[in-house]
A and B are shown apart, each in its own frame.
Chain A
Amino acid sequence: MPAEIYLNVAISGILTGLVYGLMALGLSVIFGVIRIVNFAHGEMMTIGMYIAIVIFSAFKLDPLVMMVPIAAVLFVFGYALQASLINPFINRPEHSQFMLLVAIALIMVNVLLIIFGPDAKNVQTSYAFDSFLVGPLIVDATKVYAGGAAVLVSAILFAFFRFTYIGQAIRACADNYVGALVVGLDVKRLYALTFGIGAACVGAAGAMLVLIIDVTPALGPAYTLLAFIIVITGGLGSMPGALLGGILIGFTEAMAGLLFTPSAKSMFAFALLVLVLLFRPQGIMGKRTT
C-alpha cells in the first residue's frame, strides 16, 4: 500500500479522536470534580445524537449548527440528574454510586430502544461526500468540521475553567471539598453545574459524531466504555489528558481498522487500557496520587 493511505487513515483517525476527546472530556470533568464515575456517559451521548437526528429529519437543520441547543438540552438534563438523583449519593460507597448510574444507563438505553427501535439511523448532509485535497492527501470534509468543532468547544471549556468565577469555584471544589464548603461555596449546586457541563460536552460530541457514524441505542454502553478507556489512558481528572487520550484512541482504532479488520478495532483499545492500567495507572497526563 502506498504511504499516503496510512497518512490519510491516520489523519482521519486523529480527527475522529478529537471528537472522542471532547466526549471523554465530559467524563473527566465529572469525575475530576464530583468523584463520581458517570456510567451513563455514552448513553447521554446517544441521547444527543438522537436529538440531532430528530431535528435534522424534521427541519433539515445541520447537527453542527444545532450543537449549541443540543448541548443546552443535555446541560439541563445533566443538571437535573445530579441535583435530583446523584447528589444524595455523594457520600455513599463507591459501588453504590456505580450501581445508581448503571441503573440510569440501563433505563436510558432501553427508553431510546423503545422510542427509536434497534435500527441504525444517520444524517445525510449536503457535504457528506466532500473532501479536501492537501497535496497527495485526501481529507474527509465532515471529519474536518467535526474535529474543528471539538477543538473549539474544548477551548471554550478550558477558558471557562481558567478565567470565569464559576469555573474557578468548581476547580476549588475539586481540589478541596471541605475547603470549598468552609469558604461558603454552594457545593451541591456547583456539582449539579459540573454534571451539566459534562453532559453538555458529551451532547456536543454526539452532535458531531452523528455526522461520522450511524447511531443505534446499543451504541451507548460501547461509548461509555470507550470514554472510560480514553480518560484512564489520558489520566483521570486531567483535561488535556482526555483530549490526548481521545486522539490516541482515534488513531489506534483507525490504524487497527486498516491493518487488521475494522470490526476488531475495539480490541486494540482494550489492550491499550490494560497496558495503561498496569504500567501507568495514573494515565499519560495524570498525577500520581498515592
Chain B
Amino acid sequence: MIGQLFEGVPARALVLGGLLLGVLVAAPFLVNDYLLTVLIIILYYAYTGQAWNIMMGFAGQLSLGHALYVGLGAYTTAALYVHFGVSPWIGILAAIPIAIIGGAIIGFLAFRFRVGGVYFAILTIAFAEFARVGFDHFSWVGGSSGFFLPVANYSVSDLWNLRGKPMMFYYLILTMTVGAFVICRLLLTGRIGYFWLAIREDEEAARAIGIDTFRYKMFAVILSAGMTSLAGVFFAFFYNNLFPEQVFHISRSIELILAPIIGGIGTLFGPVLGAFLLTGLSESMHAILYKFGVDIPGVKQVFYGLCLLFVVIVLPHGVWPWVARVLGIRERRS
C-alpha cells in the first residue's frame, strides 16, 4: 500500500510535496489568525474539490449538486450534537450513511435510467434544490431561520466535541485533505482508477471490455458523497450556523467545483493548487479593495467567474498540468 502510494513518483515531486506538507504543518506557528482562517478555507476547498474530482475527474460524472452532501453531513451531525449532545465523531456514523444514501439514490436513478451528461448535472442540481426547499420547512433543525451551534470563547480545544480554537480546526482539515489525497492516489493508481478512467473516456467501450460501469459509477458517487459529507461536518462545527438558503444553494455547489476545475480536472494535485490559487487571489483582492474602502457583495463571485472563464477558455486542462511541466514533475495526464 505504501509502495503503491509512492510508486512512479519522481524524486523531485516527493521532495516538493514533502516541503509543502512541512510548511503546512508548521503554518499555525508562523501566521496570524486571519491567515490561518484563510488557510482553513483553502484546505476546505481542496478537500471538497478532491471529493468532487472523484466523480467528475475520475469517473466523468458531472455533479453540480455537491452542496447536497455538504448540507446532509452538516445538518445530521449538528442536529445530533445540539439535540442529543452526540459528539460529531459519533455523529459522522450517521452523517456518512445519510449522504451515501442520498448519493446512491441519485446515482441509482440516473445510471439505471441512463440519465447522462448534462441531464445528470441537472438532476443533481434538482436534488440539491429539493433539499434546500425541504430543509427550509424542516423545523426540527430551525427551518429557514437557521440552525445554530452553541458558541463560547474556548480556552482549551475540545477535540471530542469539536469546540475550540482555529488551530484545532486547521489540523483537522489538514488531516482530512492529506487523507483525501492519499485515498485518491491509491484509488487512481489501482485497478478501480483504471476502470473509472475507461468509463470517463468511453463508456460504451468500457462496457464492451467487461467493466461493470453501473457498479463503478455508483462507487464513485457513493465515495464522493461520503467524503463530501465529512466536509459538511467540518463546515457545521467551524462556522456554527447553518441556513438552508446558504448551505444547499446552487452557488455553494459551484464554489466547490471551482478549485478542481481551475487546478485541473482529473489530476490529484489540481484541487489543492486550484484552492490555493482561487482563495489566495480572491482574499488578496478582497484585502486590497477593503483598503480602498470598497466592500460590495458580489465582487468576489465576479472574480471567481472571470477566473473560471479564463481557465475554461485558455487552459482547458487546468493550471496544474502546466505548473507540473514547469516544475519538471509529471503527473498522469487527465
Contacts and interface: CB of A to CB of B under 8 A. Distances in A.
A98 B250 contact: no
B113 A263 contact: no
A100 interface: yes
B248 interface: no
Contacts of A95: 56, 62
B133 interface: yes
Nearest to B136: A263
A266 B302 contact: no
Nearest to A88: B313
Given A225-B250, A229-B126, A281 B113 contact: yes
B137 interface: yes
Contacts of A106: 251, 254, 301-302, 304-305, 308
A104 B113 contact: no
A270 B117 CA distance: 18
A224 to B, nearest CB: 9
Nearest to B265: A95
A98 B62 contact: yes
Interface stretch (A64-72, A111-119, A151-159): A111-119
B259 to A, nearest CB: 13
Contact of B119 (A102, A114, A270, A281): A281
A232 interface: yes
B56 A273 contact: no
B122 to A, nearest CB: 5
A261 B243 CA distance: 19
B132 to A, nearest CB: 9
- B115, B134, B309: which has the most chain A beta carbons within 10 Å? B309
Contacts of B118: 37, 94, 98
Contacts of A166: none
B250 A221 contact: yes
A110 B300 CA distance: 9
Nearest to A231: B122
Interface residues of B, number: 41
B299 A114 contact: yes
Interface string B275-313: 000000000000000000000111101101110110011
A266 B254 CA distance: 20
B59 interface: no
Given A110-B298, A274-B109, A104 B305 contact: yes
B297 A113 contact: yes
A107 B309 CA distance: 9
B261 interface: yes
B304 to A, nearest CB: 6
Contacts of A277: 109, 113, 115, 119, 123
Most chain B beta carbons < 10 A, residue from A85, A102, A264: A102
A99 B137 contact: no
B130 A281 contact: no
Contact of B254 (A92, A102, A264, A273): A102
Interface of B: 56, 62, 64, 109, 113-115, 117-119, 121-123, 125-127, 129-130, 133-134, 136-137, 144, 250-251, 254, 261, 296-299, 301-302, 304-306, 308-309, 312-313, 316
Given A104-B305, A225-B122, 10 more contacts: A95-B62, A99-B312, A110-B301, A114-B299, A264-B133, A270-B130, A270-B133, A278-B113, A278-B115, A281-B113
Interface of A: 37, 85, 88, 92, 94-96, 98-100, 102-107, 109-111, 113-114, 118, 217, 221, 225, 228-229, 232, 261, 263-264, 266-267, 270-271, 273-274, 277-278, 281
20 contacts: A85-B313, A94-B118, A95-B56, A95-B62, A99-B312, A100-B312, A104-B309, A106-B301, A107-B305, A113-B298, A114-B297, A114-B302, A221-B251, A225-B125, A225-B129, A263-B144, A267-B133, A270-B133, A274-B126, A281-B115
Top-6 shortest CB links A-B: A106-B305, A113-B298, A107-B305, A110-B298, A103-B308, A110-B301
